Amino acid sequence: MAQRPDPDRAVYLVDGSNTLYRAFYAIRGLSTSKGLPTNAIYGFTSMLRKLIREHEPRFLGVAFDLAAPKCLRSWWFKSPTSKGYAVS
């Protein structure tokens, strides 16, 4: 079994977009009285609270992806050096 990292030196980074996506599809049927889905927020918060409770991180960061036009994947496939580049 792996040892726990030193809590005074460890930095926990969470991929917020992935965690929110997983929570949305993992939990079904949660919504407000007006039909607004709340499953993603509930699941994301539950996972984050579990991480904090079990690991007690001193440093914790949550990062979310940028909008699609500015993300690395969009840039990569438009780059002339990538295999996905198409000349029109």
Dist CA 69 CA 71 (whole Å): 6
DSSP 8-state code for residue 57: -
Domains of the chain: 11-66 (3.40.50.1010)
Among residues 17, 60, 23, which one has the least CA distance to residue 42?
Answer: 23
Dist CA 85 CA 87 (whole Å): 7
pTM check: above 0.85: no
Interval 40-87: pLDDT, tens: 999 999 999 999 999 888 899 999 987 655 555 555 566 555 555 455
